[in-house]
Structure 1
Amino acid sequence: MSVKEWYLEYQIHKNRPGLLGDIASLLGMLSINIVTINGVDHMRRGMLIRSEDDEQIQRLTMILSTMDNISVTKIREPKLRDRLAVRHGHFIERDSDEKKVFRFVRDELGILVDFMAELFKKDGHKLIGIRGMPRVGKTESIVAASVCANKRWSFISSTLLRQTVRSQLADDELTDNNIYIIDGIVTTMRATEKHRMLVNDIMRLSSTKVIEHPDIFVRETEYTLDDFDYIIELRNNHDEIITYEVIDPGFSSFDIS
């Protein structure tokens, strides 16, 4: 029987001394190994566990349900955000209605970079959108994640240092191992037809494309938000509202994003 990993998360109602030790002892008696453990939120703990027997996991769930001091909130095969929550000790916020939307604030750039790097490591087509106001760290996070994932990146359109609008790529840039970075505002509102043809060619590649300002991109093209695999929102703080009030073909605050 093969060894299988699970993500266990529980809410602590009363953090009495020895509670973690009791749970660890229970896991030991059921021959379930703890791989990693960390607090993932206030009074919430997550852990990656490993077992050869699914029935032991079912027994664990039943026993934990009888404990008054905790409530099991998740026990499942670990998803990417589960692994990152345990690794960073912080839970990644996900939209309850739009399951593909993940939210971060600037203080969480480390976990955002780690999250994107794990996405970049996966082969094949992925379309990722990232929303955020100017100078919040969108482009820098994409580049840092590309470095972490050991992937080459190419700016197709950008305003990181100065406005970049590519109309052709070198042969060694047209590979499935590249991360293509596209600024949705520059591409759709300030670029030439030749540039848009290049973007169309890139969108057909079996590779990762990251589009900043995806809402503007879908507004001005035939693509929809349903075409995106992930939407990332990056804010300076939790209360910030992401808006596009000053968007025109001329100069705006979004020229430096």
Structure 2
Amino acid sequence: MLTKDWYLEYEIQRNRPGLLGDIASLFGMLGINILSINGVDDSRRGMLLRTENSTQIDQLFAIVKTMDNINVTKLREPKLSDRLAVRHGRYLIRDADDKKTFRFVRDEIGLLVDFMAELYKKEGHKLIGIRGLPRVGKTESVVASSVCANKRWVFISSTLLKQTVRSQLADDEFTDDHIFIIDGIVSTRRSSERHWELLRRVMRMPVTKVVEHPDIFVRDSEYRLDDFDYIIELRNHHDEEITYDMLEEGYSAFNDFN
């Protein structure tokens, strides 16, 4: 028996008592399993469904179109963003002009960690950049995501505990079950040619790399923002501006970056 997952999202037109029960009863009548459900907006609900044949979803769509109390806004195979929306109760915020940029605030670190962990689980090359002011939680989120994805992490450069600038790795660290973490400021400001030989080798590997402060990294290296598959922005609050003005005053101001 071939099962298939679906994402259904609907907007509530009139939230009368018993509406959700009626919808659940409809799914039961059609033999459709509800995997999870949550509000994904003030007036919308999202559901992850599982069907055993294609006719079930066709029948569902034909019926819900006739219901006056709801307006179906999405019915599709679930994307990663759909699964996270149901899990956390809201959609990822994506930049309107740059679709590979995703925005989070510190109160949403749980969602950020979950999102990054799902990216880590995908095999092959991925280059992820993460922007944010000092002590907002960038490195902690990267490491926590590694734990959630059951991956090990390797700091190529970092200032999490003390300044780290690696120039070599052990043989067992060159594997695809590691997440390679690079501090774009440390690597471009306080590194040696041996460090860059290692960094370039890692960048060529078909594994996940995470670069903190990607704008500084690309400004002072041969890499470009176009090389990144995802850019993540983490702020203390939605109106916070991420700037690098302090960098011009000297690298010593960033010894506590993490």
Question: Normalised by the shorter chain, which TM-score bucket?
Answer: over 0.9
Distance 1:33 1:99, change over 3 A: same
| Other structure's SS at 2:90 match | coil
State percent identity of aligned pairs: 70
Opposite residue 250 of structure 1, the aligned amino acid is Y
Question: What's the TM-score, normalizing by structure 1?
Answer: 0.93
**In the TM superposition, what are the counterparts of 1:94-243 in structure 2 within 5 Å?**
94-243=94-243
Matched, 1:251 2:256: no
Q: Is the 8 A contact 1:11 1:44 kept in 2?
A: yes
Aligned to 1:30: 30
Whether contact under 8 Å (1:134, 1:254) holds in the other structure is no
Structure-2-length-normalised TM-score: 0.92
Tell me by how many angstroms 1:255 deviates. Answer: 4.4
Determine helix, strand or coil for the equivalent of 1:82.
Answer: helix
Q: How many residues align?
A: 257
1:132-171 CA distances to partner (integer Å, 9 max, x unpaired)?
1110000001111111212111111111122211111111
Supply the distance in 1 between the matched residues of 2:62 and 2:101 (Cα, whole angstroms). Answer: 32
Q: Which moved more, 1:152-161 or 1:89-98?
A: 89-98
C-alpha separation between the residues in 1 aligned to 2:13 and 2:226?
39
**Which amino acid in 2 is paired with 1:6?**
W
Corresponding residue SS for 1:186: helix
Classify 1:87/1:250 alpha carbon distance in 2 versus 1 (closer, same or farther; 3 Å).
Answer: closer
Describe the shift of the 1:82–1:254 C-alpha distance in structure 2 as closer, same or farther (beyond 3 A).
farther
Q: For residues 102-146 of structure 1, what are the alpha-carbon distances to aligned partners after superposition, in whole Å with 9 as ceiling and x for unaligned?
A: 211111111211111121122221111111111000000111111
2:92 corresponds to = 92
Paired residues of 1:8 and 1:49 also in contact (CA < 8 A): yes
Structure 2 counterpart of 1:185, which letter? I
Give 5+ residue unaligned stretches, structure 2: none
Letter in 2 for 1:231: I
Please state if 1:41 is matched with 2:41: yes
RMSD: 1.8
Tell me the SS of whatever aligns to 2:22.
helix
Change (3 A) 1:254 1:11: farther
- Secondary structure in structure 1 of the residue aligned to 2:45: strand
CA distance in 2, matches of 1:254, 1:226: 28
